[in-house]
Structure 1
Amino acid sequence: MSGFNFQPIGYLATPFADKFGIPRQPNLAPHAQGVLKLLSPYNRAEAVRGLEAFSHVWLTFVFHQSASDWKPTVRPPRLGGNTRIGVFASRSPFRPNPIGLSLVELIKIDTDSGVALTFKGIDLVDGTPILDIKPYIPYAESIPTARGGFAGSPPPELAVIFSPEAESRLKPELRALIEDVLKQDPRPAYANDAERIYGVRLYQYDVKWRCDGQTTYVIALEKVA
């Protein structure tokens, strides 16, 4: 069988300029919003007719910033970054076909000029190519008795403390997004230096922070030119 050729229906604009700091699953950062503007010829109001009746949708997307080579085993951060499991037993972006699924909440549909869809609970880098949108069907896709393997429960959340300097520069919506992101502890699994300063780019800000394993301390916000 020959290969397949897919074209994006649009590109998702998100707060995450870089891969580092992006939540590892959708809906872990409910204040992370994204906007998808559909490209022609898909940007017609009739293409999303009826979508407003659904609260959540599946986004099929491309891991466009991931390396093209793949390996049969990967090391999930949830397992400490040392234990290997099969790539098909993981959600690693390094896959034979770099395609992913993300379940997000649909909060707005704008068809005044083309089609723009606004979502929240985003876990994708800015500029992610979107291949398809499908409505989430609760009765068929919510399975309370399902087993979650090594990710059977939510990861523990950290406390987030802002320095007076950082606090003085924060707007409420940015503060909430920073808390959403940093309480998930986005550090590499092997990181244990409590004094190391990290940076996460959110919108036009570089957020400087450190973490002692229980609390994340936001030190400063630097506006990116």
Structure 2
Amino acid sequence: MNELIAIKVIAQMHCDFSTKFGIPRQSGLVKALKGTVVFAPEYRNPDAVRGLEGFSHIWLIWQFSEAVREGWSPMVRPPRMGGNTRMGVFATRSPFRPNAIGLSSVKLDRVEFSPTLGPVLHVSGADLMDGTPILDIKPYLPGVDSHPEAVGGFADQFQGYALEVDFPEELLRCIPENRREALMGVLAQDPRPSYQHDPERQYGLSFAGFDVRFRVRDGVLSVCEVVPLT
């Protein structure tokens, strides 16, 4: 068996997350998040996306570029389980895998044809960091990709989890209006590592050019400060 294969980066994601902290743990959890997929020069031929505008959703296949490491472990600690319970790596979506590849289903808002960048895909609900390498794009086919009867294993117990967000109006006004809904959704998903529960600890989330600082106590996330990133 040939153990090595060559995979080309065909595009990059551009979005409001400059670091991986705070990125939703799955695609679709925060539908208001916006991003663009910009193709590498070699793949900017408009013919390559002909017909894609007819699909409402697409699959992005991408690299966990911030989680590439030597070797792998058969067991990982899913964050939603508190960081102490071990599960098989192939029963999770952990980035620490034999091949650091991610898969996300996102909404395709529109296909733009830029005179300088070629076709640009505008998407919603992605769980990727700015600059994430995209390896492939495929249309989402609801007739075969959707399985309403599917069972989600141990992950089902965490469906619907969300924090209450207390974001003072004077601080919320610091955030551009077209980014507020997405930021509120990100904060409600609880960006903290699951093993950290100190109510006095202050966290910082880099989003859309701002450092959003917050604390969490008794299920309520309270924003303390919003500082422009320099």
TM-score by length of 2: 0.94
Of 87, 101, 120 in structure 2, the residue corresponding to residue 116 of structure 1 is 120
* 1:201 paired to 2:206: yes
Name the CA shift for 1:29/1:186 in 2 (closer, same or farther; >3 Å): same
Structure 1 residue 20 displacement after superposition = 0.8
Counterpart Cα distance in 2 of 1:40 and 1:171: 31
Counterpart Cα distance in 1 of 2:229 and 2:212: 10
Counterpart Cα distance in 2 of 1:112 and 1:165: 37
Of 74, 83, 87 in structure 2, the residue corresponding to residue 85 of structure 1 is 87
Name the CA shift for 1:213/1:76 in 2 (closer, same or farther; >3 Å): farther
Q: Specify the SS of the correspondent of 1:152.
A: helix
Q: Specify the SS of the correspondent of 2:31.
A: coil
Unaligned runs of 5+ in 1: none
Residue identity matched to 1:46: D
Contact kept? 1:52, 1:109, Cα under 8 Å: yes
Structure 1 residue 164 displacement after superposition = 4.3
* 1:23 paired to 2:24: yes
Residues 96-107 of structure 1: matches in 2 within 5 Å?
96-107=98-109
Residue identity matched to 1:150: F
Counterpart Cα distance in 1 of 2:218 and 2:152: 24
Q: Specify the SS of the correspondent of 1:78.
A: helix
Contact kept? 1:31, 1:173, Cα under 8 Å: no
Of 129, 135, 154 in structure 2, the residue corresponding to residue 131 of structure 1 is 135
Tell me whether 16-25 or 163-172 shows the greater mean CA deviation: 163-172
Counterpart Cα distance in 2 of 1:110 and 1:168: 30
Q: Could you list the per-position Cα deviations for residues 32-85 of structure 1 after superposition, in whole angstroms to 9, with x for gaps in the alignment?
A: 111111112211111101001100000000011104132110010121211101
Residue identity matched to 2:73: K
Residue identity matched to 1:194: P
Counterpart Cα distance in 2 of 1:92 and 1:81: 12
Counterpart Cα distance in 1 of 2:173 and 2:41: 43
Residue identity matched to 1:217: S
Residues 44-83 of structure 1: matches in 2 within 5 Å?
44-69=45-70, 70-83=72-85
Q: Specify the SS of the correspondent of 1:41.
A: helix
Contact kept? 1:15, 1:203, Cα under 8 Å: yes
Of 163, 167, 171 in structure 1, the residue corresponding to residue 172 of structure 2 is 167
Tell me whether 20-29 or 104-113 shows the greater mean CA deviation: 104-113
Residue identity matched to 1:68: R
Percent same amino acid at aligned positions? 44
Counterpart Cα distance in 1 of 2:77 and 2:134: 26
Tell me whether 110-119 or 135-144 shows the greater mean CA deviation: 110-119
* 1:178 paired to 2:183: yes
Q: Specify the SS of the correspondent of 1:206.
A: strand
Counterpart Cα distance in 2 of 1:14 and 1:106: 14
Structure 1 residue 8 displacement after superposition = 0.6
Structure 1 residue 173 displacement after superposition = 2.1
Structure 1 residue 167 displacement after superposition = 2.6
Contact kept? 1:209, 1:217, Cα under 8 Å: yes
Structure 1 residue 110 displacement after superposition = 1.0
RMSD of aligned alpha carbons: 1.3
Counterpart Cα distance in 2 of 1:208 and 1:115: 36
Of 119, 141, 146 in structure 2, the residue corresponding to residue 142 of structure 1 is 146
Structure 1 residue 89 displacement after superposition = 0.5
Unaligned runs of 5+ in 2: none
TM-score by length of 1: 0.96
Q: Specify the SS of the correspondent of 1:46.
A: helix
Residue identity matched to 2:41: S
Tell me whether 173-182 or 119-128 shows the greater mean CA deviation: 173-182
